[in-house]
Amino acid sequence: MAKILVNDGIEASGRIMLENAGYTVDMNKIPQEELMEKLNGYDAICVRSATKVRKELIDACPNLKVIARGGVGLDNIDVEYARSKGIKVVNTPAASSRSVAELVFAHIFSLARMLYKANRTMPLEGAPNLTT
């Protein structure tokens, strides 16, 4: 059975899905400086932004078959080196698309209603007199 280290955390539902698929999931965070000695017993590692998976770590873990990044970018992983060693590298490129779209619309509405200006001037000038 494949053993996965989820070093930077995932939602409980993600863990359940992996376990239901037959994987052993370890959610215990291993500090970056201890990963080289402790990651060797795992077949895969799932990271977010905090954990760095560089050449030295890859070389120290010959059992590693998959590096998964819960997020859009891959800048904390030596992708080309990992792939050259036959390790599959995956991420979640569309994971934040809906949240980004929602934020864009929130800013559009904020600009259209001049909320920023109102938030800055109300404490200084008070509410405008609308009766005159």
Stretch 54-80: mean pLDDT: 94
Rounded distance, CA 124 to CA 132, Å?
Answer: 20
Beta pairing class for 44-47 and 3-6: parallel
pLDDT at position 75 is 92
How do residues 25-49 score in pLDDT, each as one tens digit?
999 999 999 999 999 889 999 999 9
pLDDT at position 129 is 64
Please give the backbone phi and psi of residue 20, each rounded to the nearest 5 degrees, phi first.
-65, -25
pTM of the model: 0.76
Q: Quickly list DSSP for 17-72.
A: HHHHTT-EEE-----GGGHHHHGGG-SEEEE-SS--B-HHHHHT-TT--EEEESSS
pLDDT reading at 111 higher than 70: yes
pLDDT at position 28 is 92
Q: Report helix, strand or coil for 89.
A: strand
Work out the pLDDT band at 53, boundaries 50, 70, 90.
very high
Rounded distance, CA 132 to CA 129, Å?
Answer: 7
Rounded distance, CA 60 to CA 113, Å?
Answer: 56
Residues forming beta bridges with residue 45, ordered by sequence position: 5, 67
